[in-house]
Amino acid sequence: MRLAEAAAREDMHRATISALKQLLAQNPDLADQYEQTKKIIRIFRRPAFYETSTRCNLRCEGCYYFDTEHPKTLSEEQDLGVWDAFFAAEAKRGVSMAYFLGAEPSLEKERLKVAARHIPHGNIGTNGSVFIPHEIPFKISISMWGSDDAMDRRMRGASVFHKALENYAEDPRAIVLYTVNAWNFEQCEAAVLLCRDAGIPITFNLFSPTKSLLHKLTDAAPNDNQFFRVSRPNANPCIGDEDLIRIRDTLSGLLDAYPETVVYSHNYNRWSTSPGPLHNIDEQSGIALNCHSRIVEPMRYYTTSLASVDAKCCSEEVDCRHCRMHSGGWSSKLNLTLKDLCSRSSFCDWMEMVTVLSRIFVY
């Protein structure tokens, strides 16, 4: 499968280069903007994902890390010297962009510090409840799942967003990543206002269920006190087709109303709220074939034992058919496609998305 995928990618790459040359020849005034776009793309030329912690202080509904049908073996390298040598080797391998993932990376700050000694660009996904010191010069994506205490408790088991906003107020590294779901999109504007007042930009992610969450809903499984606390088959945070247009309109309105605070793109918003699936799904495996978040060499995914694993993507547990994750969505926009090259305007739209992407992911 992977060989066939690689061959298809190669053919597509050749066709894309040829279409790009033709479009730039016809529109020479776009050459400078395209050069800027290429510089952004170069930052992502060799990304890698690192699980930096096996612990978390929250219990988010359908957690991307813990809500799994295949219990993880949570082994961890404890020796900081080994982490240091590991990141030095990763830098030597040419890693240009590091994503630091869960469980909750801020609980292992020393590991982040050693990574910062070696890797030029980084992005830390955190719930924001524990401050990450300024000496770690990476983008900090603070997840937010509601803008009032009741919603935060319902979705995450505790209310943390006040603390997160306080921790990162006016911090130039920070951006809030508001995960929109069927229950909380009416709270998006309140979230934007909270972020504006804290001097933190905000962007959006669309809730994407894990396979485990979907199976529990199908089986009408009993709720527990972990990652399936509040969802029921007929009332859950999963985004249905009927929610998409309302979410699209909400986010579009916020982008227009609060351009100094909201970092988002009308083009991306339209795409990510199209009826799904968003990616080309392989019928047999159920895996997205054209998602740019797929772990394909030289991209690698490491667990906390510092072993490189054969993961599908950075969100192994999420079902590709239902995936609207910002990680898979935005990284796929790094990939110029023939569709982006079908006209001057579609090419400009693509360059606009890459520019917004850099504001979301790069410090």
Whether residue 245 contacts residue 251, with contact meaning beta carbons closer than 8 Å, is answered with: no
How far apart are CB 59 and ligand SF4 at their closest, in Å? Answer: 6
By the rule CB under 6 A, 207 interacts with ligand SF4: no
d(CA 225, CA 228): 7
Select 254 or 353, whichever has its Cβ closest to ligand SF4.
Answer: 353
How far apart are CB 20 and ligand SF4 at their closest, in Å? Answer: 24
**CB-closest chain residue to ligand SF4:** 328
d(CA 332, CA 341): 15
How far apart are CB 327 and ligand SF4 at their closest, in Å? Answer: 6
d(CA 131, CA 166): 10
* Segment interacting with ligand SF4 (CB under 6 A) among 26-34, 58-66, 218-226, 248-256: 58-66
* Residue-wise DSSP of 71-124: ---------HHHHHHHHHHHHHTT--EEEEESS-GGGGHHHHHHHHHH-SEEEE
How far apart are CB 36 and ligand SF4 at their closest, in Å? Answer: 26
d(CA 39, CA 124): 21
For residue 100, what are the β-bridge partners?
50, 124
By the rule CB under 6 A, 180 interacts with ligand SF4: no
By the rule CB under 6 A, 291 interacts with ligand SF4: yes
How far apart are CB 65 and ligand SF4 at their closest, in Å? Answer: 4
Nearest to 288 by CA among 325, 250, 339: 325
By the rule CB under 6 A, 60 interacts with ligand SF4: yes
One of 279, 300, 326, 333 touching ligand SF4 (CB under 6 A): 279
d(CA 266, CA 146): 22
Contacts of ligand SF4 in 126-165 (CB under 6 A): 127, 156
Contacts of ligand SF4 in 87-116 (CB under 6 A): 102-104
How far lies 340's CA from each of 16, 219, 220, in Å?
9, 41, 42
Select 84 or 148, whichever has its Cβ closest to ligand SF4.
Answer: 148
d(CA 145, CA 106): 18
One of 293, 303, 304, 358 touching ligand SF4 (CB under 6 A): 293
How far apart are CB 146 and ligand SF4 at their closest, in Å? Answer: 12
Q: Which pair of tokens denotes residue 108?
A: 């292992």
How far apart are CB 292 and ligand SF4 at their closest, in Å? Answer: 8
Q: What share of the chain is helix, strand, coil (3-state, %, to 5)?
A: 45, 10, 45
How far apart are CB 342 and ligand SF4 at their closest, in Å? Answer: 23
* Segment interacting with ligand SF4 (CB under 6 A) among 8-16, 187-195, 244-252, 307-315: 307-315
SS (H, E, C) 218-261: HCCCCCCCCCCCCCECCECCCCCHHHHHHHHHHHHHHHHHCCCC
Select 254 or 327, whichever has its Cβ closest to ligand SF4.
Answer: 327
Residue numbers of the site for ligand SF4 (CB under 6 A)? Answer: 56, 58-60, 63-66, 102-104, 127, 156, 279, 288, 291, 293-294, 312-313, 315, 318, 320, 323, 325, 327-328
